[in-house]
Amino acid sequence: MSHNSFGHLFRFTTWGESHGPALGAVVDGCPPGLTLSEADIQPFLDARRPGTSRFTTQRREPDAVRILSGVFEGRTTGTPISLVIENVDQRSKDYSEVAKAYRPGHADYAYDAKYGFRDYRGGGRSSARETAARVAAGAVARLVIPEVTITAWAESIGGDAIDPAAFDAAEIGRNPFFCPDAAAAARWEALVDGARKAGSSLGAVVACRAEGVPAGWGAPLYAKLDAELASAAMSINAVKGVEIGDGFAAAALSGEQNADPMRPGAGAPEFLANHAGGIAGGISTGQPVTLRVAFKPTSSILIPVETIGPDGQATTIATKGRHDPCVGIRGVPVVEAMVALVLADQKLRHRGQVG
């Protein structure tokens, strides 16, 4: 009943806390013979790493990954791959006020209510430090699905959205927001700076597109591809909504507007639209798989909020310490990783059943 593992044939387990000596992942079920070294994983961790701009937490973590097992002479052996990342920049004293009062919106109260005990240093296991382990495991998953290209980006911050007409994939890596629209990225500098200086925070929508997913991945009924993507994205800290394809907007369309008409194509049908996000009946159609993920604003803010302490007494909390002013920014590489982990698992399960 501990639920720290995800996946079926390609399965990973994460372990560790924000202020423990290290955290990591064990990836089990990875096919043998894949070329794997730390260099295949590190770039993805570097994208998620804290402290790379003034728009993220100033916690300085190198997030250097070490592979402890499952690789021999540079290739996966088919045995569990253990990945470890050391925590080097903990400042537990920053969390003395979190010990005395619950941060509204964070997991403090819920962890106490469930376990009767909590590691308040950096939020313990509820901290998004854990997402570094997901990103490391996701880098291994990508090796299982070389035919797929996964790209995520920030679509809006604080309600200020990109202009879809200005979308430029090359721009995503050029600014600290993973933003594909240079003009929006420039606006977001002032927006996020303003929130940070006010001691506040902002939410964000992250979009993701997986190209190259062949028709056939996904296992009805209880392992539908869309259901597993939603579950994977929803398991990310601070995620409060997931849409596949047009998502909620589809509910406002008529049947003919929402159809993805098909024509005969060369070897595969040609689709004239992709409202469904590349998934029908829980199975990929061969179109790009698309999803959008809503991140709430960071709960740890300097602006005082009414709350209670562990003894039930009324108080207020202004959370000091180092926090992301907009968690959705560093959520972008985490969304990509979770999509890779779902797709790798679904690919192996499809092969297992259908050959």
Ligand X SMILES: Cc1cc2nc3c(=O)[nH]c(=O)nc-3n(C[C@H](O)[C@H](O)[C@H](O)COP(=O)(O)O)c2cc1C
Q: Which stretch binds ligand X (CB under 6 A): 25-33, 113-121, 190-198, 231-239?
A: 231-239
Distance set, CA 310 to CA 110, 304, 347 (Å): 11, 18, 46
Residue 249: both structure tokens together: 């907007």
CB under 8 A, 24+ apart: contacts of 254-261? 260/285, 260/287
> How many positions of this chain bind ligand X (CB under 6 A)?
20
Q: Per-residue x/- mask for ligand X, residues 52 to 81, rule CB under 6 A?
A: -----x------------------------
Residue 344: both structure tokens together: 């790798």
Asked if 21 contacts 87 with a C-beta cutoff of 8 angstroms, the reply is yes
153-212: which residues touch ligand X (CB under 6 A)? none
Asked if 186 contacts 160 with a C-beta cutoff of 8 angstroms, the reply is no
What would the DSSP string read from start to end of 144-180?
Answer: H-TT-EEEEEEEEETTEE--GGG--GGGGGGSTT--S
**Cβ proximity to ligand X, 204 vs 213, nearer residue:** 204
Angle at 147 between CA 49 and CA 276, to 5 degrees: 85
**Cβ proximity to ligand X, 57 vs 346, nearer residue:** 57
Q: Helices (H), strands (E): how many in the chain?
A: 8, 18
Of 238, 244, 283, 338, the one binding ligand X (CB under 6 A) is 238
Give the C-alpha separation, 222 to 74, whole Å: 36
Of 13, 175, 300, 307, the one binding ligand X (CB under 6 A) is 300
Residue 311: both structure tokens together: 């003894």
CB atoms within 10 A of CB 216: 15
Q: How far is the CB of 77 from ligand X (least distance, A)?
A: 31
- Does 224 participate in binding ligand X (rule CB under 6 A)? no
Q: Per-residue x/- mask for ligand X, residues 305 to 334, rule CB under 6 A?
A: ------------------xx--x--xx--x
Q: How far is the CB of 334 from ligand X (least distance, A)?
A: 5
Q: How far is the CB of 35 from ligand X (least distance, A)?
A: 29
Q: How far is the CB of 9 from ligand X (least distance, A)?
A: 26
- Does 298 participate in binding ligand X (rule CB under 6 A)? yes
- Does 106 participate in binding ligand X (rule CB under 6 A)? yes
Asked if 289 contacts 210 with a C-beta cutoff of 8 angstroms, the reply is yes
Upstream peptide bond of 221 is cis (omega within 30 degrees of 0): yes
**Cβ proximity to ligand X, 127 vs 284, nearer residue:** 127
**Cβ proximity to ligand X, 126 vs 346, nearer residue:** 126
For binding to ligand X (CB under 6 A), which residues are involved?
A: 57, 106-107, 123, 126-128, 131, 236-238, 298-300, 323-324, 327, 330-331, 334
